[in-house]
A and B are shown apart, each in its own frame.
Chain A
């Protein structure tokens, strides 16, 4: 199993540009989440999903959209990038079958200039 994969690993955007961060998991987990981590801070939840077709907002959802059309994929869209969105983005998946233990991807490092 590849586990949780994220692409790209690094990205530089100009203010106002849009982009999609990709996240995929091959463990058939029903739950998936997106977090952001600013320097020296803990992770903050952006959006999460409890299954295909179902998403909900986390702590810091503004400026981001998500969709969950399949169990495997959970892309995160930045609608109009701002410097405040410079951060490291982590995707995670989990399942009741493994006690809701979350598996995290390697992260995407995003810089908005």
Chain B
């Protein structure tokens, strides 16, 4: 599976959009981009995933560049509860139960 590169930390003001970038320049054609987050020491929580089209759900939006070498997770109105470590992972769907988690981006939402 392809590896990803994320900034180690980011800050975001409460109520503003949080844009978390991810580079995955070696992604293969059948690999999806998954985003998970981990709040404090809890188990990771699934956020969203996509192949090549932009995706949106009740939690976030995922923007994938046309060449699929990078993506951005957008939390449209960040709250203090969104403070967490966010992991960007690329994987084929059949490998999605054995994901490679890097160190992620620690997002801090500031009041």
Please measure, in the bound complex, the distance between the C-alpha atom of A44 and the C-alpha atom of B99, giving whole angstroms.
8
Docked-complex contact B97 and A50, CB < 8 angstroms = yes
Judged by a CB distance under 8 angstroms, whether B45 is at the interface is: yes
Q: Which of A66-113 contact B (CB under 8 A)?
A: 88, 90, 92-94, 96, 99-107
Cα A106 to Cα B38 in complex, Å, equals 11
* A90 contacts across to B, CB distance below 8 A: 43-44
Chain A interface residue count, Cβ-Cβ cutoff 8 angstroms = 31
Stretch of B14-22, B61-69, B70-78, B100-108 at the chain-chain interface: B100-108
A48 to B87, CA, bound (A): 20
* Chain A interface, DSSP helix/strand/loop, else mixed: strand
- The residues of B that contact A44 with a CB separation of less than 8 Å are 101
Q: In whole angstroms, how far apart are the Cα atoms of A25 and B101 in the complex?
A: 22
**B-side contacts of A56, CB under 8 Å:** 98
Determine whether the beta carbon of B104 is less than 8 Å from that of A42: yes
Residue A12, interface by CB 8 Å: no
Give the contacting residue for B97; candidates A31, A88, A106; CB below 8 A: A31
By Cβ-Cβ distance, the 9 closest A-B pairs, closest first, are A104-B43, A100-B96, A31-B97, A42-B101, A43-B101, A101-B46, A48-B98, A94-B97, A42-B103
19 CB < 8 A contacts A-B: A32-B97, A42-B87, A43-B99, A43-B101, A90-B44, A99-B49, A100-B93, A100-B96, A100-B97, A101-B49, A101-B96, A102-B46, A102-B96, A102-B99, A103-B46, A104-B43, A105-B43, A106-B43, A107-B41
Sample of 13 more A-B contacts, CB < 8 Å, known A90-B44, A101-B46 = A35-B101, A41-B103, A43-B44, A43-B99, A92-B44, A92-B97, A93-B97, A94-B96, A96-B93, A102-B99, A104-B44, A106-B42, A107-B42
